[in-house]
């Protein structure tokens, strides 16, 4: 299977987690796009969706699926999303598409977080994929200096503004041995909205597409 085929297979596997009458949280990114393309199969099971990005909302509404705000749903039973990297503890790096803050909010509001990846994203140590940090623009230089002290090389994501109106710094050259500790340290820097480490709230079920099918961890 090529990467696109793996995305379709893992998306189909994730759809099997949806139960009748559920409010479902849905994330963003290319694997989620594959899931939305296949969502007609379970459309009649879904009460409503809480969406993590404006693009996801547009795609869902094009499928005539009701999208509601988290303040309307409260806690949700299921959240489905992809990731840019996952380790063996199901701790993740997310935010390659820039929707990390809303994704983290919905993940924390969910009872069951199902994460979809292909085997190229399953790693021993997080950090090869640059770690995104959503930052309030006026604090860009201060945050960058603090991140350098932590051993990273922050790069401003040119031409990108998050759905929340903020900028993204992508942090290269990190070898993340203690994801929970680093997530907390970065979030404590004034001006940081959040970072793309999902270690404190990691995935509950990790679906990995490989050449043989789907592995569930």
pLDDT of residue 59: 98
Looking at the predicted structure, is the pLDDT value of residue 1 above 90?
no
Q: What is the mean pLDDT of the chain?
A: 97
Q: Which of 19, 54, 72, 103 is catalytic?
A: 103
Q: Where in the sequence of the chain do the CATH 3.30.70.260 domains occur?
A: 131-195
Mean pLDDT, rounded, for 118-133: 98
What is the domain class of 3-123+200-212 according to CATH? alpha beta
Query: pLDDT-based confidence at 124, cuts 50/70/90?
Result: very high
Instruction: Please confirm, yes or no, whether 103 is among the known catalytic residues.
Output: yes
* Closest to 103 (Cα-Cα) out of 31, 11, 38: 31
Q: Mean per-residue pLDDT for 176-180?
A: 98
Taking only the tens place, the pLDDT of each residue in 65-96 is 999 999 999 999 999 999 999 999 999 999 99
Query: What is the chain written as a DSSP string?
Result: --HHHHHHHHHHHHHTT--TTEEEEE--SHHHHHHHHTGGGTGGGEEEEEESSHHHHHHHHHTT--EE-HHHH-SEEEEEEE-SEE-TT--EE--TTS-HHHHHHHHHTEEEEEEEEEGGGB-SSBTSSPEEEEE-GGGHHHHHHHHHHTT-EEEE-TT---TTS-EEEEEES--BS-HHHHHHHHHTSTTEEEESEESTT--SEEEEEETTEEEE-
pTM of the model: 0.97
Residue with tokens 């031409």: 159
Fold of 131-195: Alpha-Beta Plaits (3.30.70)
Residues of the chain with CATH 3.40.50.1360: 3-123+200-212
């Amino acid at each position: 299977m090529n990467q696109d085929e793996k995305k379709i297979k893992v998306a189909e596997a994730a759809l099997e987690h949806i139960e009748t009458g559920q409010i479902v949280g849905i994330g963003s990114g290319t694997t989620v796009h594959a899931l939305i393309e296949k969502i007609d199969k379970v459309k009649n099971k879904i009460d409503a969706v809480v969406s993590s990005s404006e693009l996801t909302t547009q795609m869902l509404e094009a499928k005539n699926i009701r999208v509601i705000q988290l303040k309307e749903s409260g806690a949700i039973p299921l959240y489905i999303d992809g990731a840019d990297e996952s380790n063996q503890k199901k701790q993740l790096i997310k935010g390659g598409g820039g929707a990390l803050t809303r994704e983290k909010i919905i993940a924390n509001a969910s009872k069951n977080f199902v994460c979809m990846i292909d085997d190229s994203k399953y790693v021993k140590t997080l950090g090869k994929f640059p770690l995104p940090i959503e930052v309030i623009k006026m604090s860009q230089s201060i945050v960058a200096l603090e991140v350098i002290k932590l051993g990273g090389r922050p790069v401003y994501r040119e031409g990108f503004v998050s759905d929340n109106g903020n900028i993204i710094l992508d942090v290269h050259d990190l070898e993340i041995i203690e994801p929970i500790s680093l997530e907390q340290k970065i979030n404590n820097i004034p001006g940081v909205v959040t970072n793309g480490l999902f270690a404190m709230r990691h995935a509950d079920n990790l679906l990995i597409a490989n050449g043989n099918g789907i592995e569930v961890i």
